[in-house]
């Protein structure tokens, strides 16, 4: 089956925000509880530290990231009529995390709110769903969040996984762009024949090498696919915002595509892998840094399932 090419959506990004818990757990801290070292973790992953939540749930993290976006870009929260949270660490099955956030923000009862689980690709999936609902004029302003409390599903005695993950959330508010000065397009996909590579039941179980090999190939393919579908070339893209799972994965993709590493926005050093939150946290930092300059960014992610996806968005500018 050949998937139809993506369409360009007239979507603008109004705001982005992030929240990470205050508590920093360094590699040296972890070396006190498992047989590992700062040198091993940094050289194999690029991670130096991660944030770990205590009593906060992924809904609390999502709420704080949403508030950051609303406050930072002075958005009237009453305009929001759609809330989607991408997460694999929801505090409970129901109410959904998005529904909790709706309540915490005091949004109207007319809002539609629900969660999406596509592992680490969840935020790109959620953006595509939100964008389609906006384009169809069913909704006007979507709050899209990626939020994870991965420390709640990590086996803290397993050195193969506990060094990799962190907690945090990133949020974005998007709307239909009636001026048609910004656009967005998406490519999302999945397969189910690699459950043994990454599964989260009570805790995360992972075959790191399998995930690594898959990630390097699929990230390159997803980048090429969205460029091809959108009719753009790499020179049309200012920055690539990849899922932050391992700096070596990103470096391999850069090398294989003959791209300078500076083309990739990387912050894994401070947060580790925050799954569905990693791309929106990075985007929020990027957007806060560029202020009024408009940039075209390419998002690319992969996750358990496997799932994978990419998107092209315009961010920044005087809005």
Residues of this chain that interact with ligand ACO (CB under 6 A) are 36, 40-41, 44-45, 119-120, 159-160, 163, 198, 206, 208-209, 211-212, 215, 245-246, 273, 275, 303-304
Does residue 185 carry a catalytic annotation? no
Q: Which residues contact 211 (CB under 8 A, 6 or more apart)?
A: 197, 198, 245
Burial class (CB in 10 A: 0-12, 13-18, 19+), 221: middle
Does residue 109 carry a catalytic annotation? no
**In the complex, minimum distance from the CB of residue 248 to ligand ACO, in angstroms, rounded to a whole number:** 7
| Cα gap 225→198, rounded to integer Å | 24
Catalytic residue among 27, 141, 185, 243: 243
**In the complex, minimum distance from the CB of residue 148 to ligand ACO, in angstroms, rounded to a whole number:** 9
**In the complex, minimum distance from the CB of residue 157 to ligand ACO, in angstroms, rounded to a whole number:** 12
β-bridge mates for residue 231, sequence order: none
Q: How does DSSP classify residue 264?
A: B
Catalytic residue among 120, 141, 188, 246: 120
| Cα gap 291→120, rounded to integer Å | 27
- The nearer residue to ligand ACO, 24 or 290, going by C-beta atoms, is 24
Edge-to-edge order in the sheet of strand 239-242? 184-190, 307-316, 294-303, 239-242
Q: How does DSSP classify residue 169?
A: E
- The nearer residue to ligand ACO, 139 or 302, going by C-beta atoms, is 302
**In the complex, minimum distance from the CB of residue 246 to ligand ACO, in angstroms, rounded to a whole number:** 4
Place of tokens 């569905």: 276
Does residue 117 carry a catalytic annotation? no
Residue, CB closest to ligand ACO:
208
Q: Which helix (DSSP H) or strand (DSSP E) does residue 122 occupy?
A: helix 122-135
- The nearer residue to ligand ACO, 10 or 155, going by C-beta atoms, is 155
- The nearer residue to ligand ACO, 85 or 175, going by C-beta atoms, is 85
31: which 2 tokens?
């070396």
Q: Please identify every residue annotated as catalytic.
A: 120, 243, 273
């Amino acid at each position: 089956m050949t998937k139809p090419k993506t369409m360009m959506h007239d979507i603008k990004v109004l705001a982005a925000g992030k929240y990470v818990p205050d508590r920093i757990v360094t590699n040296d801290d972890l070396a006190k509880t498992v047989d590992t070292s700062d040198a091993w973790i940094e050289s194999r992953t690029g991670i130096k530290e991660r944030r770990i939540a205590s009593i906060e749930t992924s809904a609390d993290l999502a709420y704080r990231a949403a508030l950051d976006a609303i406050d930072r870009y002075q958005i009237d929260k009453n305009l929001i009529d759609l809330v989607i949270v991408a997460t694999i660490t929801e505090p409970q099955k129901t109410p959904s995390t998005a529904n909790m956030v709706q309540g915490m923000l005091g949004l109207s009862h007319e809002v539609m709110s629900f969660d999406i689980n596509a592992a680490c690709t969840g935020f790109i999936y959620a953006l595509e769903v939100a964008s389609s609902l906006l384009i169809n004029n069913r909704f006007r302003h979507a709050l899209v969040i990626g939020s994870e409390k991965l420390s709640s599903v990590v086996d803290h005695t397993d050195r193969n996984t506990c060094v990799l993950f962190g907690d945090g959330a990133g949020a974005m508010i998007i709307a239909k762009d009636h001026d048609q000065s910004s656009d967005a397009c998406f490519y999302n996909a999945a397969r189910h024949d690699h459950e043994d590579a990454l599964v989260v039941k009570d805790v995360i179980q992972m075959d790191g090498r399998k995930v690594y090999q898959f990630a390097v190939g699929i990230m390159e393919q997803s980048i090429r696919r969205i460029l091809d579908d959108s009719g753009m070339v790499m020179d049309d893209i200012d920055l690539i915002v990849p899922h932050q799972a391992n700096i070596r994965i990103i470096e391999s993709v850069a090398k294989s595509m003959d791209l300078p590493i500076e083309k990739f926005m990387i912050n894994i050093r401070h947060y580790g892998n925050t799954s569905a939150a990693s791309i929106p946290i990075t985007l929020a930092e990027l957007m806060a840094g560029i202020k009024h300059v408009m940039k075209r960014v390419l998002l690319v992610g992969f996750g358990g399932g496997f799932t994978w996806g990419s998107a092209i968005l315009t961010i920044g500018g005087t809005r």
